């Protein structure tokens, strides 16, 4: 019965995120208007099939705390390859001359964050990353889809295996792992040498909306402020 409840809560969060996406095609201008001096810029990276608006609830709280927040509508539903999506982030970093950025990625977005830290020519502009329920060792459930976008996320995927072998940037990544993930085994989100944090919440999408997660993310971001 508890698993049915967990899945039900997770689907409620999916619905909320999709409704936020439908109602907000573009990021609010005030995401940059509330910025305080010394607060690092934050770049949002949604999961596969999710638009930027799926992270709006989280983005609102980060913005209200004083951090400049950048969302990327050009990612669409994030079905492009990770390197292709990364180029969109790189363009933002370079065109806006962003420095000391903190990437926050959910699911596939966390893999994008690690790819940017490890491979991007703009990686010096990135200070750290916060990955939420991210399949660093791949997602077995992704094998059920014939879509190339999902196949990129399987444990056999070339890019997943290459990123898993690269442990040098793990120390810059906070991996936020729900105590129960209905789509991933916990160990698939664990990063050797990374900053792994178990969040007392249940659900691959529920973790994005849980106040405990938001509180921890704000605490992590505060470590990078220059007050």
pLDDT digits (tens, 9 = 90+) for 133-190: 999 999 999 999 989 999 999 999 999 999 999 999 999 999 999 999 999 999 999 9
* Interval 89-106 mean pLDDT: 97
Give tens-digit pLDDT for 119-147: 999 999 999 999 999 999 999 999 999 89
Quote the pLDDT of residue 33.
Answer: 85
Quote the pLDDT of residue 2.
Answer: 83
Quote the pLDDT of residue 146.
Answer: 86
CA distance 215 to 61: 9
Q: Which residues pair with 85 in a beta bridge?
A: none
Per-residue pLDDT for 1 more than 60?
A: no
What pTM, to 2 d.p., does this model score?
0.96
SS3 111: helix
CA distance 36 to 39: 6
Q: How buried is 3 (Cβ within 10 angstroms: 0-12 exposed, 13-18 middle, 19+ buried)? A: exposed
CATH number of 2-24+39-222: 3.40.50.1820
Quote the pLDDT of residue 114.
Answer: 98
Confidence of residue 199 (pLDDT cuts 50, 70, 90): very high
Give tens-digit pLDDT for 59-69: 999 999 999 99
CA distance 3 to 211: 21
Domain ranges of the chain: 2-24+39-222
Half-sphere exposure of 95 (CA within 13 A, CB side): 7
């Amino acid at each position: 019965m508890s698993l049915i409840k967990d899945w039900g809560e997770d689907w409620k969060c999916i619905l909320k995120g999709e409704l936020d996406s439908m109602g907000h095609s573009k990021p609010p201008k005030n995401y940059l208007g509330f910025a305080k001096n010394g607060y690092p810029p934050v770049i949002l990276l949604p999961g596969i099939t999710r638009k930027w608006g799926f992270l709006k609830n989280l983005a609102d709280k980060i913005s209200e705390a004083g951090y400049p927040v950048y969302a990327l509508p050009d990612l669409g539903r994030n079905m492009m390859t990770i390197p292709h999506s990364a180029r969109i982030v790189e363009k933002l970093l370079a065109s806006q001359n962003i420095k000391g950025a903190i990437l926050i990625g959910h699911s596939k977005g966390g893999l994008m964050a690690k790819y940017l830290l490890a491979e991007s020519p703009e990686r010096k502009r990135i200070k750290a990353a916060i990955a939420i329920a991210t399949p660093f060792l791949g997602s077995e459930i992704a094998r059920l889809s014939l879509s190339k976008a999902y196949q990129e996320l399987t444990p056999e995927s070339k890019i997943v295996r290459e990123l898993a072998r690269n442990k040098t940037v793990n120390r810059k990544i906070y991996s936020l792992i729900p105590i129960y993930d209905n789509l991933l085994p916990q160990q698939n989100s664990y990063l050797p040498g990374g900053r792994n944090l178990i969040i007392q919440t249940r659900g691959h999408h529920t973790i994005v909306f849980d106040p405990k997660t938001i509180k921890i993310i704000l605490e992590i971001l505060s470590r990078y402020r220059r007050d």
